[in-house]
């Protein structure tokens, strides 16, 4: 039997104040999710550089009519195929149009196609995938088979068919790109919702009487917002790329309007004598796509709760 050398008595202890009883302390500083994510995003140099470049592009594309003395279709046959100079920083094309101005007008179209396509994919994909995963059973089965059908036709075919019906304009290009590209998003959201809906917080929402819509949007989808935002960001360059490719092979918006793809295609015809002209649109596409990819990666890291 063990004994203590000194007797321990109750009087040797101080009593806790009533208010201190039962409390455990909170160590972590209170930060909202978004603030936390932004702090993490800022630390990623590449992502930040990408964001700055993209913002710069957007500002230029919006401001170009104010900033420039030329318009995208003002021809000046005296300065055809000029090299970069003070008057034309990136030179002129075969009709004497300022390449920088055309590039910036091209940015309007290319960026718009990218963002609008990504936005449409976001809305359609999240709602479709969310409903499919949440309802489960027969509804889910039918909805997934519909997706399989849409997916089984090559997306280029949609674009060409839609162009034939609605004509060569930016709307048809957008529609063509969007017909099947939301499917990836829908599948991803469906899988996430299927796992999240088994979690106890979703059951708790059901038990307190929350309706289906509230559970789906306020409890499930909000919890997969991280991956959703990342995929949306990565969808922008994909759409820009597809549009450029289509324009390059001659499908898409009609001249004299130009997207980056059209510019590249035009420059190709003079590539033997003026190779510099094709560099600019290609560079614009590359840098924008790269920036968006960096932003996507940065967001992926910043929005992942495991990095907290």
Partner 1 sequence: MSDKVLLSVEHVKTYFDVTKGPFSRKQIVKAVDDVSFTIKEGETYGLVGESGCGKSTLGRTLVQIYRATEGRICYKGRDISTLTQNDRKEFTREVQMIFQDPYASLNPRMTVGEIIKEPMEIHKILSTSREREERAAELLKTVGLKPDHIRRYPHEFSGGQRQRISIARTLALNPKFIICDEPISALDVSIQAQIINLLKEIQENMGISYLFVAHDLSMVNYISHRIGVMYLGHLVEEGDADEVYENPIHPYTKALLSAVPIPDPDKAREKKRIQLKGELPTPLNPPSGCPFKGRCPIATEACEETRPELKDYKGHKAACFRIQT
- Min. distance of Cβ 197 from partner 1 in angstroms? 11
Q: Which residue has the tokens 């048809």?
A: 172
- Min. distance of Cβ 226 from partner 1 in angstroms? 10
**Which tokens sit at 258?**
């130009």
Instruction: Tell me the C-alpha distance between 109 and 259, whole Å.
Output: 6
Q: In the beta sheet, which residues pair with residue 92?
A: 98
Whether omega before 256 lies within 30 degrees of 0, making that bond cis, reads: yes
- Give the residue among 150, 139, 134 at the shortest CA–CA distance from 191: 134
Burial of 115 (0-12, 13-18, 19+ CB in 10 A): middle
- Min. distance of Cβ 191 from partner 1 in angstroms? 18
Contact of 307 with 129, CB cutoff 8 Å: no
- Residue 92: phi and psi, rounded to 5, are -130, 165
Closest CB to partner 1 among residues 15, 272: 15
- Min. distance of Cβ 175 from partner 1 in angstroms? 34
Closest CB to partner 1 among residues 28, 149: 28
Residues at the site binding partner 1, with contacts judged by CB under 8 A:
22-24, 26, 28, 30, 32-33, 199-201, 203-211, 214, 218-219, 222-223, 225, 305, 308
Count how many residues are written for the chain: 308
Closest CB to partner 1 among residues 224, 285: 224
- Min. distance of Cβ 224 from partner 1 in angstroms? 10
Closest CB to partner 1 among residues 32, 152: 32
If DSSP states are collapsed to H, E and C, what string results for 216-229? Answer: HHHHHHHHHHHHHH
Closest CB to partner 1 among residues 168, 223: 223
- Min. distance of Cβ 227 from partner 1 in angstroms? 14
Closest CB to partner 1 among residues 30, 272: 30
């Amino acid at each position: 039997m063990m004994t203590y050398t000194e007797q321990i008595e109750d009087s040797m202890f101080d009593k806790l104040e009533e208010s201190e009883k039962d409390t455990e302390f909170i160590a972590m500083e209170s930060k909202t999710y978004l603030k936390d994510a932004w702090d993490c995003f800022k630390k990623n140099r590449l992502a930040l550089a990408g964001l700055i470049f993209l913002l710069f592009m957007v500002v230029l594309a919006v401001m170009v009519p104010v900033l420039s003395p030329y318009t995208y279709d003002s021809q000046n046959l005296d300065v055809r195929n000029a090299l970069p100079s003070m008057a034309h920083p990136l030179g002129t094309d075969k009709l004497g149009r300022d390449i920088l101005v055309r590039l910036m007008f091209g940015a309007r179209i290319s960026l718009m196609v990218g963002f609008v396509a990504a936005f449409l994919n976001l809305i359609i994909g999240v709602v479709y995938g969310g409903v499919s995963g949440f309802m489960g059973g027969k509804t889910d089965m039918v909805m997934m088979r519909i997706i399989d059908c849409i997916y089984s036709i090559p997306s280029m075919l949609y674009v060409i068919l839609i162009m034939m019906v609605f004509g060569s304009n930016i709307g048809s290009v957008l529609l063509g790109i969007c017909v099947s590209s939301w499917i990836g998003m829908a599948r991803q959201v469906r899988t996430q919702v299927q796992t999240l809906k088994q979690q106890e917080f979703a059951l708790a929402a059901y038990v307190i009487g929350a309706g289906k819509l509230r559970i789906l949007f306020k409890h499930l989808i909000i919890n997969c917002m991280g991956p959703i935002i990342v995929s949306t960001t990565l969808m922008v360059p994909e759409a820009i790329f597809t549009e450029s490719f289509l324009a390059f092979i001659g499908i898409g918006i009609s001249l004299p309007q130009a997207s980056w793809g059209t510019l590249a295609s035009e420059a190709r015809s003079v590539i033997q004598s003026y190779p510099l002209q094709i560099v600019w649109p290609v560079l614009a596409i590359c840098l924008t796509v790269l920036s968006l990819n960096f932003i996507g990666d940065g967001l992926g890291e910043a929005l992942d709760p495991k990095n907290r």
